[in-house]
């Protein structure tokens, strides 16, 4: 019985196990076939690749307005991309020094930077128009020129040889003319002064008998305190109060003839940008546009209270630059433009476009913004 | 041997088949586990639902600046969402008439609208502050108030009972004071005039002895031509030229005391917005912000050429409103504010916030924008 049963049952057990194996194998094949199907939709999901980028900046991390806008930009991109593009923002000196931002983005050692185009005039003097130039356009006019007047296209052309795509990503509005330790009553009062004043305005300042230097914001307080410089312009009340300039200088001058609406820039390494899928490229593009407005909105909301604090609590002397001084600076500015245009063809081309737009927008603003400012208070 | 072999081999075969079954079962389990894993990422893909929305507008489709910005907004959203949110923009009258936009979004019959908050003052008089008010803030100040001064939060509160979430999505800048068929030399010249002038400015105009009406832009030309109205304000040179007002009116006045920087609005049906995943909500939010700037940039770029065409090719008489007229209108405006604030608590609350921000930003602009406009040309 035992033997007979074992003979009878064994083929059945084997048959059952073979059937089970076949069934399991079939199930496995089908299961893998389904997986292949979902692997295809994972192909679409593969486009949903995640990116971690680094942004270097020319500002101290989280510095009001300038640095916080860089963070705000990164936040917008993260939210809009559902976390597919995460940008870590680094303050000046964390990865590269402030003035190393352009080269770091150009080489691709980081994907992004946030700074001011006029810092890179050593690369091309035309870069200065994309931040601001003396007696130039204000924020509203700059935005019109950049986005609907051909300015951004020219900016891209100037940065093209450096593998960088620029975007406007912030505006300070009209800046203050700066901090001085003496009153400025005539042009002669500028003679011999060593002042932190970058860009074309620095050239004009030199022509007025001063000596211009460019020092990153984070080093200005010490430079003023130790007498390395006699004067400095930085941004406006909110930022200048944050740096504490009221402790190391007495006179605060307006209006900022030298920086009437400085555009800040987002620098993107071109190969890195081109590797992004189209939706993330659009997200970077429009987040920059939103950040561009947001910075100006912040300054519009904060500058007056800061100015009041400077004057009322710190005894800062608020002064208007005399018309005579401004008139002479304006004439010198025109000379500097003409000379630089003679020396550099791209400078000449960008100046041409800038000048034409400024003339048109300025005429419109004479009957709109300017006329309105004059009448709205009735004073 | 045979028997002994068969006895010896059968357990081995059974064992091998059991092992194979176990292995296949394990493979199947693992395969399904992997499928479960990818089912989770398919869960994420299920969030990748596609949405088709409709936007109704108070403008003719593709009308320069106003209508084109609505289209530009839709394009930004489509690009940034990779086609997951497609918005079809409808001109006034296509689905609902211009003045039916608010109700259509409120009821959810469409998901979105683009218009001007002051059109809905019948719903709440406080809405007017979110477009513009006479002698109020310009574009730069409005943007500061809305985004960094508590303005947008108040706007959301005012629209909350209507199931609508508002966003700023465009700004015209300072508008022109309007088209007249006679010269305006004193306040008496406004008496008896029937003028298209909406919002609080209409109240002021009534107080000055005129009769204000609100007519959608698309109907203004005929209303002027047929004498249904004697005067009209619309936007500024670029838009007014497009409507052809130069053919039906002779005098063109500035500056626009009545609309100094009108914000246009994006209206979103609240339940529809809340159904969107977080990334699409962020995309709508920041696209509105980018569109908000883009419209102003367009006007900054186009208004001057249009004004030149009006004056030089069409013989339009460009005139500045006399200070005396503006002073009287300013006094009447203040009275209208006080009366409306007494009648409506929300109006009073929003006015308080608006007034405080305007005072601060205005003081800042006295030493920045206004001072700069005065000195930059040296004239």
Identify the CA nearest to A155 among candidates A181, A130, A180: A130
Residues A138, A260: contact at Cβ < 8 Å?
A: yes
**Cα angle A137-A143-A149, degrees, rounded to a multiple of 5:** 90
Which residues make beta-bridge pairs with A195?
A: A212, A231
The mean per-residue pLDDT over the stretch B136-142 comes to 98
Mutate to test the interface with A, among B175, B368, B375 (most CBs of A within 10 A): B368
Q: Where are the beta strands (DSSP E) in chain A?
A: 51-57, 85-90, 112-115, 164-171, 178-180, 194-196, 211-213, 231-232, 251-254, 263-269, 317-320
What confidence tens digit (pLDDT) does each residue in B79-97 have?
999 999 999 999 999 999 9
Per-residue DSSP letter, B262: P
Looking at chain A, the number of H-run helices and the number of E-run strands are: 14, 11
Chain A CB contacts of B292 below 8 Å: 293
What confidence tens digit (pLDDT) does each residue in B218-238 have?
899 999 999 999 999 999 999
The mean per-residue pLDDT over the stretch A256-271 comes to 97
For the beta carbon of residue A123, count every other beta carbon within 10 angstroms. 17
Residues A343, A275: contact at Cβ < 8 Å?
A: no
Residue given tokens 């691709």 in the structure block: A108
Structural domains of chain B, with CATH? 49-174+262-299 (3.40.190.170)
Q: Which of A180-189, A255-264, B47-56 has the lowest mean pLDDT?
A: B47-56
User: Helix or strand or coil: residue B254?
Assistant: strand
Mutate to test the interface with B, among A300, A365, A377 (most CBs of B within 10 A): A300
Q: Which of A112-121, A209-218, A245-254, B305-314 has the lowest mean pLDDT?
A: A209-218
Radius of gyration, alpha carbons of chain A: 30
Q: Where are the beta strands (DSSP E) in A270-364?
A: 317-320
The mean per-residue pLDDT over the stretch A158-171 comes to 98
Length of chain A: 379
Q: Is A201 left (phi over 0), alpha (psi -120 to 50) or beta?
A: alpha
Gap between the Cα atoms of B117 and B232, Å rounded: 19
Which pLDDT score is estimated for A194? 98
Task: Enter the tokens of residue A137.
Answer: 């356009």
Gap between the Cα atoms of A123 and A126, Å rounded: 9
Select the more confidently predicted residue: B23 or A355: A355
Alpha-helical (H) ranges within B226-344 are 237-243, 270-275, 278-308, 314, 323-343
For the beta carbon of residue A270, count every other beta carbon within 10 angstroms. 18
Residues A180, A231: contact at Cβ < 8 Å?
A: yes
For the beta carbon of residue A285, count every other beta carbon within 10 angstroms. 18
Chain A CB contacts of B301 below 8 Å: 144-145, 147-149, 357, 361
* pLDDT reading at B116 higher than 70: yes
Looking at the partner chain, which of A17, A176, A304 has a beta carbon nearest the beta carbon of B360? A304
Among chain A residues, the shortest Cα distance to B25 is held by A24
B residues 278..297 contacting A (CB < 8 A): 278-279, 282-283, 286-287, 289-290, 292-294, 296-297
State yes or no: cis peptide before B255, omega within 30 of 0: yes
Residues A76, A170: contact at Cβ < 8 Å?
A: no
| Strand pairing class (B231-232; B194-196) | parallel
Asked if B304 is an interface residue toward chain A (Cβ–Cβ < 8 A), one would say: yes
ipTM of the complex: 0.87
Which pLDDT score is estimated for A97? 96
Q: What are phi and psi of A83, to 5 degrees?
A: 85, 10
Which pLDDT score is estimated for B26? 57
What confidence tens digit (pLDDT) does each residue in A93-131 have?
999 999 999 999 999 999 999 999 999 999 999 999 999
Give buried/exposed letters for A39-60 (b at 16+ CB in 10 A, else e). Answer: eeebeebeebeebebbbbbbbb
* pLDDT reading at B23 higher than 70: no
Chain A CB contacts of B178 below 8 Å: none
Gap between the Cα atoms of A45 and A49, Å rounded: 7
Cβ-defined contact of A373 to B369 (cutoff 8 Å): yes
* pLDDT reading at B40 higher than 90: no
Looking at the partner chain, which of A173, A278, A321 has a beta carbon nearest the beta carbon of B368? A173
Which pLDDT score is estimated for B217? 86
Gap between the Cα atoms of B111 and B272, Å rounded: 6
Instruction: Name the pLDDT band for B157 (thresholds 50, 70, 90).
Output: very high
The contacts of residue A369 (CB under 8 Å, 6+ apart) are A140, B138, B173, B174, B369, B373
Which pLDDT score is estimated for B22? 62
For the beta carbon of residue B230, count every other beta carbon within 10 angstroms. 20
Mutate to test the interface with A, among B69, B259, B297, B332 (most CBs of A within 10 A): B297
Residues B196, B213: contact at Cβ < 8 Å?
A: yes
B residues 186..225 contacting A (CB < 8 A): none
Among chain B residues, the shortest Cα distance to A176 is held by B368
Q: Which of A7-21, A224-238, B85-99, B324-338 has the lowest mean pLDDT?
A: A7-21
The mean per-residue pLDDT over the stretch B370-376 comes to 94
Instruction: Name the pLDDT band for A36 (thresholds 50, 70, 90).
Output: very low
Mutate to test the interface with B, among A12, A40, A368 (most CBs of B within 10 A): A368
Identify the CA nearest to B268 among candidates B131, B121, B141, B155: B155
Residues A175, A256: contact at Cβ < 8 Å?
A: yes
Gap between the Cα atoms of B353 and B357, Å rounded: 6
* pLDDT reading at A32 higher than 70: no
User: Helix or strand or coil: residue A59?
Assistant: coil
What's the mean per-residue pLDDT of chain B? 91
DSSP H or E stretch at residue B253: strand B251-254
A124 burial level (CB within 10 Å; 0-12, 13-18, 19+): middle
Instruction: Name the pLDDT band for B39 (thresholds 50, 70, 90).
Output: very low
Identify the CA nearest to A87 among candidates A78, A96, A95: A78
The mean per-residue pLDDT over the stretch A263-289 comes to 98
Looking at chain B, the number of H-run helices and the number of E-run strands are: 14, 11
A residues 49..78 contacting B (CB < 8 A): 76
Select the more confidently predicted residue: A311 or B35: A311
Cβ-defined contact of B378 to A330 (cutoff 8 Å): yes
Cβ-defined contact of B256 to A372 (cutoff 8 Å): yes
CB pairs under 8 A between A and B: 280
Cβ-defined contact of A378 to B277 (cutoff 8 Å): no
Instruction: Name the pLDDT band for B44 (thresholds 50, 70, 90).
Output: low
Task: Enter the tokens of residue B303.
Answer: 């208004």
Which pLDDT score is estimated for A199? 84
Instruction: Name the pLDDT band for A34 (thresholds 50, 70, 90).
Output: very low
Gap between the Cα atoms of A329 and A208, Å rounded: 7
| Strand pairing class (B263-269; B112-115) | antiparallel
Asked if B167 is an interface residue toward chain A (Cβ–Cβ < 8 A), one would say: no
Which pLDDT score is estimated for B351? 98
Which pLDDT score is estimated for A27? 57
What confidence tens digit (pLDDT) does each residue in A338-368 have?
999 999 999 999 999 999 999 999 999 999 9
Instruction: Name the pLDDT band for A43 (thresholds 50, 70, 90).
Output: very low
Instruction: Name the pLDDT band for A35 (thresholds 50, 70, 90).
Output: very low
The mean per-residue pLDDT over the stretch A161-183 comes to 97
Cβ-defined contact of A375 to B144 (cutoff 8 Å): no
What's the mean per-residue pLDDT of chain A? 91
């Amino acid at each position: 019985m035992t033997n007979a049963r074992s003979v009878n049952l064994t083929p059945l057990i084997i048959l059952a196990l073979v059937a089970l194996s076949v069934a399991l194998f079939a199930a496995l094949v089908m299961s893998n076939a389904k997986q292949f199907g979902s692997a295809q939709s994972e192909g679409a999901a593969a486009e949903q690749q995640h990116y971690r980028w680094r942004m270097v900046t020319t500002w101290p991390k989280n510095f009001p307005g300038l640095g916080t806008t860089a963070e705000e930009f990164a936040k917008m991109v993260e939210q809009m991309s559902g976390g597919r593009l995460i940008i870590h923002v680094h303050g000046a000196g964390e990865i590269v020094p402030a003035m190393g931002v352009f080269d770091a983005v150009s080489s691709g050692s980081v994907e992004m930077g946030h700074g001011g185009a006029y810092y890179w005039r050593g690369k091309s003097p035309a870069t200065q128009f994309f931040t601001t130039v003396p007696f130039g356009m204000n924020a509203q006019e700059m935005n019109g020129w950049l986005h609907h007047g051909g300015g951004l296209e020219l900016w891209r052309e100037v940065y093209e040889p450096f593998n960088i795509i620029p975007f406007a990503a912030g505006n300070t509005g009209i800046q203050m003319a700066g901090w001085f330790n003496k009153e400025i009553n005539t042009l002669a009062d500028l003679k011999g002064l060593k002042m932190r004043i970058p860009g074309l305005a620095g050239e004009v300042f030199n022509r007025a008998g001063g000596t211009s230097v460019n020092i990153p914001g984070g080093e200005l307080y010490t430079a003023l305190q130790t007498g390395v410089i006699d004067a400095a312009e930085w941004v406006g009340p909110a930022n200048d109060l944050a740096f504490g300039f009221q402790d190391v200088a007495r006179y605060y001058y307006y209006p900022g003839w030298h920086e009437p609406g400085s555009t800040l820039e987002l620098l993107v390494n071109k190969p890195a940008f081109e590797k992004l899928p189209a939706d993330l490229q659009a997200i970077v593009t429009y987040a920059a546009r939103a950040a561009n407005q947001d910075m100006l909105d912040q300054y519009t909301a904060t500058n007056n209270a800061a100015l009041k604090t400077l004057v009322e609590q710190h005894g800062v002397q608020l002064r208007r630059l005399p018309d005579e001084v401004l008139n002479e600076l304006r004439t010198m500015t025109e000379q500097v433009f003409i000379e630089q245009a003679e020396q550099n063809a791209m400078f000449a081309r960008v100046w041409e476009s800038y000048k034409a737009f400024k003339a048109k927008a300025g005429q419109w603003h004479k009957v709109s913004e300017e006329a309105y400012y004059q009448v709205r208070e009735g004073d």
